[in-house]
Chain A
Amino acid sequence: MSGATDPRLLQLAEGDNVLITTMSIPAGEELLVDGHAVELASAVSLGFKVAATDLEEGTVAVRFGMPIGRTTTAVSRGDVVHTHNLESLYLHTHARGEE
């Protein structure tokens, strides 16, 4: 990643293709990701992941230099990366219903 990036997004290791938010950011905010301006489609909470670049379906997401799963759909730069578009290479992730 060589372009300018919003200081609220943290790249934990060189080469990571997901960035970590260091505070909650509301929907609609414009963020600079690797030199590209993107509008945040949904609110993102502290500690969540945002794509650093466009990711094709089946791309291995890398955080802190380690693989953390595979994308299940195409993901655009600046999109939130979570259970709706990333799956484990090991064991299924269990979730509970909405409150």
Chain B
Amino acid sequence: MQGYLRSDGRKGIRNVVAVVYLVECAHHVARRITAGLEEDVHLIGFGGCYPNDYAAMMLERLTTHPNVGAVLLVSLGCEGFDRAELARKVAASGRPVETLVIQQRGGTRTTIEAGRAWVEEARARIAATPRVPMGVDELVVGTICGGSDSTSGISANPAVGRAFEQLVDAGAVTIFEETGELIGCEHVMAERAITPELGQELVGAVEKAERYYRTLGHGSFAAGNAEGGLTTIEEKSLGAYAKSGTGPIHGVIKPGDIPDHGGLYLLDVIPDGEVRFGFPNINDNAEAAELMACGAHMILFTTGRGSVVGSAISPIIKICGNPETYARMADDMDVNAGRILHREATIAEVGDEIFGLVQRVAAGELSASEAMGHQEFVLTYKTFEPIGPACLPLAAPNLPVPPTTSA
């Protein structure tokens, strides 16, 4: 396995040009710049016209993600996003970066032309990025469940949990998330924390999620979950929780925090403070973006109903827990964990299969969603406070990249 070496010492498993719209009004121009080049030119962005510290931090983390080799910012011109500051941060990371302001460039056509010319040149430049040996202990792997049903918690999720245990044993960083889908599991989970103080932080994070969702009127529970046999949020949680395996929990992080020790981390995705800006994560890709902002090179995505999404920047590996769904949608799936339900494979065997696939995708093999060109991406408004001192017992006194620096 080899990685693309970046100036901060991290290594990427992909080397893409990120084209970034800084407001919805620049989205079309940015998309046309990427047209036909999507294999290694990925589109991300923020739709809002008004500035938000979280969104600025997210785009900084994503444009300096190890899988990204060069960055083109596309601005309409009058939006509130601090484009100069983002460009400075990307430049400081040693990556080629350019900013195109549509209102200064003469409009849609001329900006698309300029953008495509820059991207072509950038691709040629980053093709020379040095590749160096990379170990499993340098990987950051996230997990999400999406389109869950009753089978997810029996087959796909415990198999991912098993793969997570193997990754942690090999020294990798693993991240599970969606505290709103751990409601009911908080006290069992807290017993796995490496310190009692961290255990309290885990419970606090889930309690915050419950308060938040209570204000919104219902849990992180889609109609399809019930159609797939899940009845309550705590039943869904019990299944989602299985993705974390059974090993010790080493920390709680928030979007943009990048763990500096191998281990298992919970990503707290629920905004701090009073409820504002609406739903915490409006869909699965909002969670994928946050995992990537924490450094995830790839994401293990479990599904029962049959999600098809992929992601820009970091490949998504699809693990299907429901054998009937797998039979209908095999093209979209990387792993058939439904075999566990039919007693054709054990959780340990499917866990081994996932662990092997993680290493092959890290080495360059395309996942199913990646090969089909899926690059969904979404980023919305949020507010976070920095994590408390008990959240990362293993961390050095100063986090290498504290979450508030971009505020």
Residues of A within 8 A of B (CB): 10, 12, 20, 22, 24, 45-49, 63-64, 66-69, 81-83, 86-96
Contact = CB atoms under 8 A, between A and B. Distances in A.
Contacts of A67: 184, 234
Nearest to A70: B232
A69 B184 CA distance: 10
Contact of A94 (B154, B183, B218, B342): B218
A93 B221 contact: yes
Point out which of A49, A67, A88 has the most chain B C-beta atoms below 10 A from its C-beta.
A88
Given A47-B228, A48-B150, A94-B223, A69 B238 contact: no
Contacts of A48: 150, 229
A38 B228 CA distance: 23
Interface residues of B, number: 33
A86 B304 CA distance: 21
Contacts of B221: 91, 93-94
B184 A66 contact: yes
A46 B155 CA distance: 13
Interface in B211-236: 213-214, 217-219, 221-223, 226, 228-229, 231-235
Contact of A22 (B213, B218, B238, B342): B342
B153 interface: yes
Contacts, number: 102
Given A20-B154, A66-B234, A83-B226, A90 B341 contact: no
Contacts of B210: 90-91
B229 A88 contact: no
A12 to B, nearest CB: 7
B234 A89 contact: yes
Contacts of A89: 184, 232, 234
B149 A90 contact: no
Given A47-B322, A90-B210, A68 B219 contact: no
Contact of B229 (A12, A47, A91, A92): A47
Contacts of A68: 184, 231-232, 234-235, 238
B150 A93 contact: no
A14 to B, nearest CB: 16
A54 to B, nearest CB: 18
Contacts of B322: 46-47
Contacts of B185: 66
A49 B149 CA distance: 12
B331 interface: no
A69 B235 contact: yes
